Amino acid sequence: MRIVYTGPSRAVEVPGLGMLARRGEPIDVPEDRHDVARSLLQQECWTEAEQPAAKRSKATKENE
């Protein structure tokens, strides 16, 4: 799970994860700490990060 801090501070310490979360930068939450992420997501200043778009492979001459 990836979450993003969107609050007013430049960064916040997340003791439950042992991480520093910088505003606007997604952090990866280990599977065994998803409970912490879910509790953070209940606050207005946290959102779940969008999943990166799958990379498309470029067409080659053989595929055209």
Considering the entire predicted model, what is its pTM? 0.76
Q: What is the mean pLDDT of residues 41-63?
A: 76
| β partners of residue 49 | none
57's CB contacts (< 8 A; 6+ apart) are none
pLDDT digit string (tens) for 19-36? 999 999 999 999 999 999
- Burial category of 13 from C-beta neighbours within 10 Å (exposed 0-12, middle 13-18, buried 19 and up): exposed
Q: If you search the block for the tokens 């470029």, which residue do you land on?
A: 58
